[in-house]
Amino acid sequence: MTIQRYKDYDSLSSAAAYLVWRQIKQKPDSLICFPSGDSPTGMFKFLVQYAKEGRIDFSRAHFVGLDEWVGMDKNDEGSCSHYLHKNFFSLLKIAPAQVRFFDAKVADLDRACQEMDEHITNLGGLDMMIVGIGMNGHIGLNEPGTDFNVYAHHSALAPVTIDVAKKYFTQQPRLTEGITLGLRHLAEARTPVLIASGSKKAGIIAQALNGPVTTDVPASIFQNLPNTQIFLDHGAAEKLNKE
């Protein structure tokens, strides 16, 4: 586990974008998992800039979305896939064949999970899986109590997750369940990446990276993943033990 501390969010975002840039340079057909939310927005801005300047070519890369609110897809404003299209895929006109999201509107969610697992396996596994961290330590929508060995799955959302999610919607939907890549995917990714910013994340970051490894704090799995890259700005790192 390598922890990188940066003076501010912009520096963190630039460094995270450089990590993706380096991955694509080394393996143009990489399979990368992208998250939605506030934390990766700056990274996407840098990556879009690099691509438009001709410094990076995503034409051979493949992407999967980390998670989705059950009952939503890219046409629903506030959904995870809508965010990723708005902030990255649509801006660079990434071909639809390069991108896979959960179909969170189907009746058979177990089948949707199985299809995502098969898709990742067929592409040779995740080269890079980038995630943020929830206020309760969740990764993707792997809520507290999730088994570290689970692949894609769907489950009930924690109350704090539902409360935090409200900011993404202009009209409040009824959020009850999420569908997500599993913590086993994170463990098997060749490069797992965590991005966190702001003082509001400092407490859970310290708990996840300095506390006991437990399913009560899903993000504590990072302590068991030697290839992990952790990107924190000053605020997020302020309660972390000095190394």
pLDDT tens per residue, range 177-214: 999 999 999 999 999 999 999 999 999 999 999 999 99
Q: Which residue among the candidates 82, 85, 127, 136 is catalytic per the annotation?
A: 136
How long is the chain? Answer: 243
| Higher pLDDT pick, 167 / 229 | 229
73 assigned to active site: no
- HSE of 187, CA atoms in CB hemisphere, 13 A: 15
- Kindly list the domain boundaries of the chain, sorted by start residue: 8-205
Average pLDDT of the chain? 95
CB burial string 107-130: b at 16+ within 10 A, e below: eebeebbebbbeebeeeeebbbbb
Topology (CATH) of 8-205 = Rossmann fold (3.40.50)
Q: Which residue among the candidates 68, 127, 143, 233 is catalytic per the annotation?
A: 143
154 assigned to active site: no
pLDDT at position 243: 46
Q: Using 50, 70 and 90 to split pLDDT, how confident is the model at 165?
A: confident
136 assigned to active site: yes
Rounded mean pLDDT of 10-38?
97
The DSSP 8-state label assigned to residue 88 in this structure reads I
Q: Which residue among the candidates 62, 67, 68, 87 is catalytic per the annotation?
A: 67
67 assigned to active site: yes
Torsion on CA atoms 12, 15, 19, 25, rounded to nearest 10: 150
